[in-house]
Structure 1
Amino acid sequence: MQFISLKDLREKELVPGFKVRFVHSDNMTLAYWTIKGNSSLPGHSHLHEQVVNIIEGEFELTIDGEVRILKGGEVAVIPPHVTHSGRSVTDCSIIDVFYPIREDYL
């Protein structure tokens, strides 16, 4: 068992406007994002299943060509190997859950 305080984790800016803190378990990675409004994430895919949890703000998410604007309290599930991209409409707070663990983010 492990207890973690997010404020004790180093924040990284992986893409301009996208700052993140990572928590890793044995099988999953959780990404706690703070995103500046009008920041873009280019299209990409990965072997991980991803669950996107919008905590605050509005985020335009494109999954396999389908575009949706998600708001706080909404969730999207992205299957493995599916191309997706996004753009923050406003400042956002998002939690992403990845399975299996994101080795590239360790």
Structure 2
Amino acid sequence: MISVKELTLVSDEQIAWEELGGGIKRKVMSYNDDIMLVKVAFEQGGIGALHTHPHLQISYIASGAFEITIGDDKKVLEEGDVYFVPSGILHGAVCLAAGVLIDVFSPMREDFL
């Protein structure tokens, strides 16, 4: 596995998928201590369980459709849509149509390395 810390020019094929189970896999594309970009692929029916973390998160729906829950809000988002998760807020995703999320975290997620 190559080190992607502060990798400046990243080709998708140079990063291997990490299988997470439940129809979900991810690639940490690049990061430093302040920010991290992660690509997450979901099969239809895949569930990103409700959880919290201290990081700020903003996510772009690159493809597919997802039911996103953030706190008391729930909405179906599709390709081209974005959601923002404040620090410490309960959130999760249910994949309605196979797709990919592009997640950005600040600071970086040490637990993903």
Normalising TM by the smaller chain, what interval?
A: over 0.9
Alpha-carbon spacing, 1:42–1:89, altered in 2? closer, same or farther (3 Å): same
Secondary structure of 2:9's aligned partner = coil
Pick closer, same or farther for the CA change 1:79–1:15 going to 2, 3 Å: farther
The answer as to whether partners of 1:49 and 1:80 remain within 8 angstroms in 2 is: yes
Matched, 1:13 2:19: yes
* 3-state SS of 1:104 partner: helix
Give 5+ residue unaligned stretches, structure 2.
1-6
Q: Deviations over 1:39-65 (max 9, x none)?
A: 111110001000010011110000002
* CA–CA separation in structure 1 for the residues paired with 2:67 and 2:79: 12
Distance in 2 (CA, whole Å) between partners of 1:68 and 1:51 is 15
> Could you tell me how far 1:4 is from its partner in structure 2?
1.5
Q: 2:74 aligns with which of 43, 49, 67?
A: 67
Q: Give yes or no for the alignment of 1:104 onto 2:111.
A: yes
User: SS in structure 2 opposite 1:47?
Assistant: coil
Query: RMSD across aligned C-alpha pairs, in angstroms?
Result: 1.2
Report the identity percentage. 28
Matched residue pairs, number? 106
Dislocated runs of 4+, deviation >4 Å: none
Instruction: Map 1:1-106 to 2 at 5 A.
Output: 2-26=8-32, 27-106=34-113
Q: What is the letter of the counterpart of residue 52 of structure 1?
A: S
Post-superposition shift, 1:11? 0.5
SS at match of 2:97: coil
After TM superposition, the score normalised by the length of structure 2 is: 0.88
Contact 1:24 1:101 in 2 (8 A): no
The runs of 5 or more residues in structure 1 that have no matched partner are: none
